[in-house]
Every structure is written in C-alpha cells, then in structure tokens.
Structure 1
Amino acid sequence: MNLTPYTWAVIIGVMTGFFSRLRMLRTDYRQYPTYLHGQVIHLSLGFIAAGLGAVAVPALLEKEYTAITFLSLAAQQFREVRNMERESLSKLDQMELVKRGPSYIEGIAMAFEGRNYLVILTAFLTSLTVVVGTWYLGILVGLVAIVITGVLQSGKNLGQITEVRPGELRMEEAGLYVDDIYLMNVGLKENRQRILDRGIGIIIEPKNVDSRITLANAGQRQAILHDASTILGVYRDTGEPSLTPISKRDLEDGRLGVLLLPEDRNEERAIRVVQKVPVLESAVRLPEEQPDRA
C-alpha cells in the first residue's frame, strides 16, 4: 500500500500527539481523573487535538487556509474543557473534609486545557518534519516533543522555594501554638489533648521574598492542607471544627505554622509530603524580579 507523504505525516503526527497526551495523563494522589470514564474523556480529546495539529500542516501547505478556522474552534472547545473540569472539581470539593480550594481547582483545570495545546503543538511539529524531511526524522522529533511536554507539565514544588521542618505543638491555656506561631483557640480540654496526641506541627520557612509572598497566598496554604490530608489521611469528621488542619503566618518573618491531624502519624513522611506540594501558578509572585521604580 503506497501512502502519500501527507498521509504519513498525518498518521505519525496523530500517533505522537496521542502518546504525548497519554504520557501527561496521570492518576496520582489528587485522585483525578481516577475512573476509566474520566480517562477516556481526556484521551479522546487528546486524540482530537492530535488530529487537528497533524492535519493542519498538509492543509496549510495546500493553501487551504480555512483549516485555521478549525484550530480556532478547537481552542474554544478546549476552553469548555477547562470549564467542565472546574465545575466537576468544585462539586467534588464540597464532599472533601479538607477542601482543595478554588485556586487549586483553577490550576488543575488550567493544566488540562494547556495539555491539549501541547498535544496540538507536538502533532504539528511532527507532521511538519515528516513533510519537509523524512518519516524517521518526524518520529525522532515527536519523541523529543513527548519528552519536553512531560517536563513542561511539572512545575515547582514547595520544597524548592522553602525550608520545611518539624515544629513543636504546645498549648498555652486554650491557645494552640506550633513553636512560637499562634494557630487557634481550642475550647474543650478533650480536643486539646487529642490535638497534642494526634497532631503534627510543621514550620515552613520561605527562602526569599518571592517565596514569602507565595506562602501568604490563601490558596497555596489550602493546597498544603489538602494534599497532606489526602496522602496521610485526616483525623476528623464533619461537625468538629476544632479538629481541622490549619495554617497561620508569622507576620514578622513570613514563616508558616501548620497543624496536621493525620491518620498516619508519621512526622518524616509528613515533611516529605509538604515538600512535594505543587506551587500554584495563581500564588506565584516575583517582586524581586521587578525593576526599581523611581
């Protein structure tokens, strides 16, 4: 069977684009997408995105400029994917004992939209290489693009911008402290003892001004509590506000005091979990990179 160069370009472009999306689809501790139906939805959209990117090259080379219209329609459709993810995660968040929070949800929804654009770019570059070069060179470019997209999907984590260490939980009358950072008032003696017995105190110290401002973001702090509670479990139930993981800042130096109430009381593991919490895009601020203004 003799296939034209355009046909090879589309086939190889679709394959590399689809494998790129497959590599970026991971079911991790955030438990989304967990079930087969959610994975099928994202893989199907990835296949469509790969097809659009691969077909765009032959269409443009044949001066079929109306193909650009399909790319613009695809971009609109992928924005709807972002809205769908935001709505789904917001509904799921209502059932969580420790919520993700709007900032974390928006970051996940944005990532799902962005990954489809990476698929289009991977398929487009692969298809273009096959047309202007050879099929094996196109496969090589596709493999390199798959590796790059895998790198691009992972951002910074908290351990890269802060120092995370254990903190001492203590009570001063009804006040709960981790080291010298006040967390909250605990009224019932029973709950005070349960917190001291089951809780883990953590101090997060920012490395510079940028990370200090990132830690001040309420969405970033909620992401820390949610991820730690998801991985370690949470020792609480509904209707018990005193048994709630919490974080508070020291306003003088920007340190963050964190109280965790895990089912698995493992301090070393809790430190590692907090270090791996992703830095939310909405929380990133870079005041040190701004030029001085007169």
Structure 2
Amino acid sequence: MHTHRDLTGVLLGTLFGLGARLILMRSDYRQYPAYPHGRIVHIALGLIAAALGSVAVPSLYHKNYTAITFLSLAAQQFREVRNMERTTLNAIDKMELVPRGAAYIEGIAVAFEGRNYLAIFAALITSMTSIIFPWWTGLAAGFLSLLVVFRFMRGKTIRHIADVQTAPIRFDGHNMYVGDVYLMNVGLKENREIIEKRGIGIVITPKNGNARVTIANLGQRQAILYDVSTRLGVYRDTGEPLLIPLGKLALDTGQLALVTLPREYDPRMAIAAVESVPLLEAAVRMPVEANRQGEGRADHG
C-alpha cells in the first residue's frame, strides 16, 4: 500500500513539476530559448528537476536522508545552468546590432535558474500531498502549485512605473532633441534626414521617485532599446554609430527620451513595445521607501 502511494506521489509530482516548467517556458519575439534545440535542453532540465523534487518526499518519508544530498547536487547543477545561459547570451550579444546589455542577460540567466527551482517546488508539494493524503488531494495541490508558478511568471513592466508617449524629433542646427530633451549632435546632413524621416521619438515619464531611479539605470535603458529594436527592427548596419537607437535622461525632470529608427514605422507599436519591457531585477530601486523607513532613526557608531 505504501509502495503504491509512493509511486503515485512520484508520478504526480513529476507530472506537475514538468508542467510548471512548460508553463514558464515561452519563445517570444526575442526567440530565446530557440526552437527546437533550446527548448529540448530546458525541457530535459525541467524533467530532471521535477523528478528530483518528487522523489525527495518518499525518500525523506522513509528516513532516507541521503535525498538531501541529491537536492544539493541539483542546486549546483542549476547554478551551472545560470552560468551556461550567461555565457551563451554574452556570445550572442556580440552579434546583435542593438545589444541586450549585461543587466538584461543577467536577468534572463537568473530567471532560467529560478524556474527550475519552481519546478522542484511544484513537484515537492504535489508529491508530499499525494503521499500523506489521498491521491486526489495531490491533484488539487498540483493545480494550486501551478497557479503559484503562473503568478511568478508575470513580473512588472515599464507600464507599471511610467507613462509612455511619443514626442517629436527636432533639430536645432546639428543638435537633436526629442521633445525638450537634448540627445546628441548629428553632424552629417544625410543622417539628420534619415532620422527625421524614419525616427520615432518616445518620452518615458516616471510615476514616482522609485521609478525615476529605475529608468535611469543604464541596464534598464539598454533593455528598452533592445526590445523596441527586436520588435520593430532597426534601420542601420554596422559602422553607423549615429543611427543606433539612443536613450538620454533629462536630469531636471527624470524623464527618459528615446529615439529609434525602426524598419516598420509604427509609433503605436513602439509605445506598446516600450510599455511591455520587463523591469530588470538589477535595475529596480526603492529609495523612497528606504528614506521613509530611515526617518526618525538615530545614527549609530
């Protein structure tokens, strides 16, 4: 009876753990992980994570504490997954006309590592519930764990912290402005004509002090430029530094002005692309909360 219950728990745990990993894996406009080989790698790792999480429960239930060793080895392997993703994306980034940037790459690498841990979590909860209680409660726990996993999948984006709108691109002599924000000096008349014809100006206005610091982060700016260029294309080739998408901060207002030269001229799509850029964990700052917590505290030392 116990053997049957253990097997049921392991099978259900592995099934829901793998399901959690499949839910978290999507190839979107960034085309990463690539199809099919990149997906095969991550599906295999997700299956291993789910199996480890589900097998750990009956092992510990029967006082076989060596299962902890397997979980620690799994954690080490998934840290190697993070390093693998970082190395791969850094190599790919050198071939991009508009690079992702180090902060974006680190965020993606951390996400791939964390998603394997979520697969272990789903498998662990499902397996434990199936073994301790009737098997149908394990099904309920498995679906509940998938809801938790789905919640972790949906992070915040630029639209949550800032207002995005288009702004006219204008030239004052050789100086280029987006709205009232100065971006750079464009010396060649040919480049100015291309920018005036094909360029889209965008202004990102932060909603509060925390958002102002976040969008000022260089890694977050580069992520915005990369996502917009990936979704709309970029009108440039190598050796043309003045045609690369650019972002510049207005120091007095905290606004971030962008200029991009897309292959497809669609200002509404450009706004949607900026609004859907994920907030990078390395870029998020909360100085307002920190200052509020620090009010009234005496200095020590």
Structures share a fold, TM > 0.5?
A: yes
- Give yes or no for the alignment of 1:105 onto 2:105: yes
Residues 1-294 of structure 1: pairs in structure 2 closer than 5 A:
4-290=4-290, 291-292=293-294, 293-294=297-298
- Per-residue CA deviations over 1:117-152 (Å, capped at 9, x if unaligned) read 000010000000001111111011111111221220
Q: Residue 7 of structure 1: SS of its match in structure 2? A: helix
4+ aligned runs moved over 2 Å, structure 1: none
Please report the TM-score for the alignment, with normalisation by the length of structure 2: 0.96
Deviation at 1:30, TM superposition (A): 1.4
Distance 2:12 2:173 in 1: 68
Distance, in Å, in 1 between the alignment partners of 2:150 and 2:227 is 22
Equivalent pairs, count: 294
Sequence identity, in percent? 53
In the TM superposition, what is the alpha-carbon distance from 1:34 to its structure 2 partner? Answer: 1.6
Q: Secondary structure at the match of 2:282?
A: helix
Deviations 1:206-227 (A, max 9, x none): 0001000001100000000000
Residue 168 of structure 1: how far off its partner (Å)? 1.0
Q: CA deviation at 1:3?
A: 6.0
In structure 2, give the amino acid aligned to 1:135: W
What letter matches 1:184 in structure 2? M
Alignment partner of 1:32: what SS?
Answer: coil
Whichever residue aligns with residue 123 of structure 2, its letter is A
Q: Which runs of 5+ in 1 are unaligned?
A: none
Q: How large is the Cα RMSD of the aligned pairs?
A: 1.2
* 1:247 match: secondary structure: strand
1:176 Cα deviation from its structure 2 partner:
0.5
- Tell me the amino acid that sits aligned with residue 200 of structure 1: I
Opposite residue 141 of structure 2, the aligned amino acid is: V
The amino acid across from 1:66 in the alignment is T
Counterpart CA distance in 2 for 1:158 and 1:151 is: 18
Amino acid at match of 1:96: E
Please give the per-residue CA displacement for 1:152-196, whole angstroms capped at 9, x wherever unaligned. Answer: 022100011000011110001111100110111111001001101
Q: Secondary structure at the match of 2:110?
A: helix
- SS of equivalent residue, structure 1 residue 99: coil
Hey, what's the Cα distance between the residues in 2 that align with 1:153 and 1:30? 16
CA distance in 2, matches of 1:286, 1:243: 34
Counterpart CA distance in 2 for 1:198 and 1:236 is 11
Unaligned regions of 5+ residues in structure 2, if any? Answer: none
CA distance in 2, matches of 1:22, 1:104: 22
| Paired AA for residue 216 in structure 1 | A
Partner SS, residue 231 of structure 2: helix
